[in-house]
Amino acid sequence: MKSQSHRFTNEKLLEILSLSQNATAIYTGEESIIQSANDVMIGFWGKDRSVIGKPLGEAVPELAGQPFLDLLKQVWLTGVTHESKDAVTQLLVDGKLQTFYFDFIYRAIKDQNGEIDCILHTATDVTELNLGRNMIAHAKEQQEALNREQVLNEELGAANEELAAALEELSATNEELQQTQESLQVLNRDLEIRVEERTKKIIDLNQELEAFNEELRASNEELVSTNEELSESRMHLERSLDALAASNYRTQSIIESAPFPIGVYTGRNMRITFVNKSIMDVWGKGYNVVGKLYSEVLPELDNQEVYAQLDAVFTTGISFEARNQRIDLVVNGKMTIFYFNYNFTALRNESGEIYGVMNTAADVTDVVLSKLQLEKSATELDLLNKEFANINEELAAVNEELTASNEEQALINDQLTILNDKLKVSQDELNLAIDAAGMATFDLNPITGKFKGNDLIKSWFGLQPEDEIELQKATDVIAEADRDRVVAAIQNALNADSGGNYDSHYSIVNPHTQEVKTVRAKGKALFNDKQEAVRLSGVLQDVTEQMKDEQRKNDFIAMVSHELKTPLTSLTAYIQILQAKAKSNGDNFAAGALEKASNQTKKMTTMINGFLNVSRLESGKIHIENQHFDMALLVAEIEGETILTVSSHTVIFAPVEETFVNADRDKIGQVINNFLSNAVKYSPAGSTINVACTTVNNQAQISVRDQGNGIKPEDQQKLFERYYRVKDQPVNIAGFGIGLYLCAEVIQRHHGKIWVESKIGEGSTFSFSLPM
C-alpha cells in the first residue's frame, strides 16, 4: 500500500467523522459512556450535546426496556460486531414518544494490543423507507383486494341482488382507495418537508464547520506562541507519545470502520489521499487506489459533472451538497446505478490555503427507488380509482339493463310456457301423425354412438321397446350390399362441410324374422360452434312397395323402349330410302317432308335411349368402366364432331389443358355432349358457347357457358332431379327432364361434383369436376 501524502491528527479524524451525514457515536465501558456523537446522532435521540460524557441509558432513558443497551454491553464484552436492519426504536423527540426504524452497526474498535478500546455506533434512519414499503405492501393489498372485487363483480353480474351487494362493496373500496391516495399524498408532503429539514441541517453544519476552521486558525497562532512552552514539556510529550500513537490508531480505526463512504483528495488534480472501506466497497476497488488520481480510478464519472463539482469546491472553497443524486459506477465490470446524498468540503492548511477536498456520502439508493415506487403506485392507484369509477358507472348501467332484461325475461318465460304447452300439443299431434304414416324416427348421438327411436324402428331392427339402439348393431342389420354406402352417408352428414344432410335408400334384414324391407332414411345433423356434430335426427320410411312399383315401372319402360326401337329403326331406314328416291326424282317437297320426318325420328330415338338409360341406371345395369385418359383429347374429339354438326352457334373450346383422370371415357363424353346440346338448345342462334377444360384444386373441371336467358335460383336447385323441367320454356323445345338427371348420376358414380351457375339475362354455366 502506498504511503499517504498527509497524515491526519486525532482531532482532524474526529472532525471528518462528525461531518458525516450518517449518524455516528463512540462509547466506552460496559455502561456505554458517550465519548463522541455527531449532530445527526444527537438529532436522532432528540437531545443536545449535553449528553456527551453520560451513559447512554441515562442520556436516552426511553431506551430502557429496549434491546439496544444489552446489545452494546454484549459487543463490549465479546468484541463481536452486531448489525441490525429495520430495527424498531421508540425515541422521545420533541416531547413525544415516536416510533422510528434504523439500520445500525455496533462495531468494537481494538487498540494495537487487540484490546477493546471503544464501540463505534453508526446508524441510518430508514423510517421513510419502511413507511414506503408498508405503503407499497398496503397498495399491493389494495390491488389484490381490487382484483378480488373485479372477479366478484363478474360473478355478481348473474343476479340483481348480488349485483347490488357488489356495488356497495365497490363503493366502500372506492372510499378506501381515496383514503389511501390521500395518505400517499400526505406521506409525499412529509418526505419533502423532511428533505428540506435535512438540507437546512447540512447548511447549518457547513456554517459551523467554517466557524470551527476559524477557531483552528486561532488555535494555530496560539500554538506558535506556546512553542517555547512546548519545548520545555518535550520530555513530557515523549512520555505521552505512545499513548498518542494508540489514540491515533483508534481514531484511524474508527474512520476506516465507518459504514458510510469517506474520502480525502488533495491537489487540484484530486489525488486520493485517504479512503475508508465503505467508499472502496461502493467503488468496487481496493486500497491500491490511494495515491492515484480520482479521474484514473473512476473514469466513468467523466460525463456526470462530478469532476467539475470537485474542481469548483477546490478553487472556490465553497462546499457542494447533492441530494438524491444519480451516480453511475462500474462495479465488478458492470455499470451500476446508485443514488447518493454527498458533500464535497474544502480542506485548508494552517495558512488558510485549500490543499484538498473531503468527500462524505450516504447511499440512499433504496430510499430513492422506494420513493419512485411510491410515486408509481400512487399513479397506478389513481388510474385504478378512475377505472373503478368508470366500472361503477358501467355497473349501474348494467344494473338498469339487467332490471329491464329481467322484466323482458319474465314476459319471455310466460310466452315460453304458453309455447311449451302448444309445443307439447304439437308434439303429441306429430307423434300421432308419424305413427299414422307408419314412419320410424331416430335421434343419433355421434359422441356415444347410441340413438333413440320410436317402437317402430326398434321392431324393424329386431329390438324390444326397452332396448337401447347402438349404431354398430343397427348397421349390422343393413343388407351387406348397402352397408358401406350407408355408413359413408352417415359420416358425410356428420361433416359440417356437407351441410348435415342425410338421404339414403337401403335394405334391412330383420335378424329374427329374416324379413327384408327397403327403407328411405332422411335426416339432418346439428353442429356446435366448433362445427362438431352433436346430433343427427330424422325419419325412416318403408318404401318396399314403392320400390317394387318403381321396378315394375322401370321394367315396363325398358320393355316398351326396346319394343319401340325395332319399328323405329325400320321407320328410319324407310325414310332414308324415300329421301334418296325423292332427291333422285327431283321431288323437293317430298325430300323436305322426309327430312322433317327424319328429324322427328331422331328425337324419338334420343328420348327412347334416355328412358332406357334411366331404367338401366335405377336397376343397376349401368356399369362404370374406368380407364386412364387425357380429358383434353376427349374434348378435342367432341370439338371435331361439333364443327360438323353445329352451325347455328359459335363454339369456342378454350382454355383446354392436359388433364389426366381415371373415369369411364364414353360416359364422360355423353355428359359433355349433353351440356353442349342444352347450350345449343336454350341459347339464341348466333350466340357464343364456350367450353373449358382446366385443373382447379387438383380436380379436373369441365365448364360449358352459354348466352341464354339464364335460370332462376329456385329452378337451379332442382335441375338435376329426375323428370324436372323448368317452367315457362318455349313450346318448340321438347324434353322429359332426363338428360341432366343422367349426367348427375354419372358424375356422382365417379365421386365427382356437378353444378350450375346462372344469372337471369346473362346466361348459364354448367360444370362438373372429377378427382385427378
The CATH number covering residue 458 comes to 3.30.450.20
Residue ranges of the alpha helices (H) in 498-626? 544-585, 588-618
Cβ atoms < 10 Å from Cβ of 215: 10
* pLDDT, tens only, 419-428: 877 777 666 6
**Residue 404 belongs to some domain of the structure:** no
The CATH number covering residue 686 comes to 3.30.565.10
Domain check: are 444 and 497 in the same one? yes
Domain check: are 290 and 336 in the same one? yes
Host domain of residue 739: 627-771
The backbone torsions φ and ψ at residue 581, rounded to the nearest 5 degrees and listed phi first, read -70, -40
- Across the range 700-704, mean pLDDT stands at 95
**Residue 162 belongs to some domain of the structure:** no
**Residue 336 belongs to some domain of the structure:** yes
pLDDT bucket at 3, cuts 50 / 70 / 90: very low
**Residue 451 belongs to some domain of the structure:** yes
**The pLDDT value given to residue 169:** 64
Amino acid at 372: L
Domain check: are 752 and 702 in the same one? yes
Angle between helices 588-618 and 739-749 (to 10 degrees): 40
Is the distance from CB of 130 to CB of 103 less than 8 angstroms?
no
SS3 35: strand
- Across the range 521-542, mean pLDDT stands at 86
pLDDT at 190 over 80: no
The backbone torsions φ and ψ at residue 680, rounded to the nearest 5 degrees and listed phi first, read -65, -40
pLDDT at 560 over 80: no
Distance CA 189, CA 515 (A): 98
**The pLDDT value given to residue 4:** 40
Place of cell 442520556: 59
* pLDDT, tens only, 73-113: 999 999 999 999 999 999 998 889 999 999 999 999 988 88
Distance CA 185, CA 193 (A): 12
Judged by average pLDDT, the poorest of 349-353, 441-445, 609-613, 677-681 is 609-613
Distance CA 425, CA 107 (A): 97
pLDDT at 766 over 50: yes
Distance CA 169, CA 162 (A): 11
Q: Which three cell numbers stand for residue 311?
A: 474542481
pLDDT bucket at 733, cuts 50 / 70 / 90: low
Domain check: are 479 and 556 in the same one? no
Q: What percent of the chain has pLDDT over 90?
A: 24
Query: Among 669, 670, 554, which residue's Cα sits nearest to residue 611?
Result: 554
Q: How many domains does the chain have?
A: 4
SS3 269: coil
Domain check: are 761 and 631 in the same one? yes
Domain check: are 586 and 642 in the same one? no
Distance CA 568, CA 574 (A): 10
Distance CA 367, CA 373 (A): 10
Q: What percent of the chain has pLDDT over 70?
A: 75
**Residue 351 belongs to some domain of the structure:** yes
Domain check: are 667 and 704 in the same one? yes
**Residue 421 belongs to some domain of the structure:** no
Domain check: are 641 and 694 in the same one? yes
**Residue 357 belongs to some domain of the structure:** yes
* C-beta pairs of 372-379 under 8 Å, 24+ apart in sequence: 373/132, 373/136, 374/132, 374/135, 374/136, 374/184, 374/187, 374/188, 375/188, 377/135, 377/136, 377/139, 377/184, 378/181, 378/184, 378/185, 378/188
- Across the range 190-213, mean pLDDT stands at 66
Domain boundary among 363, 383, 406: 363
pLDDT at 246 over 60: no
SS3 86: strand
**The pLDDT value given to residue 237:** 45
pLDDT at 230 over 50: no
Longest CA pairwise span in the chain (Å): 178
Distance CA 46, CA 602 (A): 128
Strand 699-705 relative to strand 688-696, pairing: antiparallel
Judged by average pLDDT, the poorest of 219-223, 304-308, 356-360 is 219-223
Domain boundary among 348, 363, 378: 363
**Residue 576 belongs to some domain of the structure:** yes
pLDDT bucket at 5, cuts 50 / 70 / 90: very low
pLDDT bucket at 595, cuts 50 / 70 / 90: confident
Domain boundary among 363, 392, 420: 363
Length of the chain measured in residues: 772
The backbone torsions φ and ψ at residue 60, rounded to the nearest 5 degrees and listed phi first, read -125, 75
Domain check: are 519 and 557 in the same one? no
pLDDT at 201 over 50: yes
Q: Which three cell numbers stand for residue 196?
A: 428540506
Per-residue DSSP letter, 497: G
Domain check: are 357 and 232 in the same one? yes
Domain check: are 453 and 525 in the same one? yes
- Across the range 702-708, mean pLDDT stands at 94
Domain check: are 297 and 335 in the same one? yes
- Across the range 162-186, mean pLDDT stands at 62
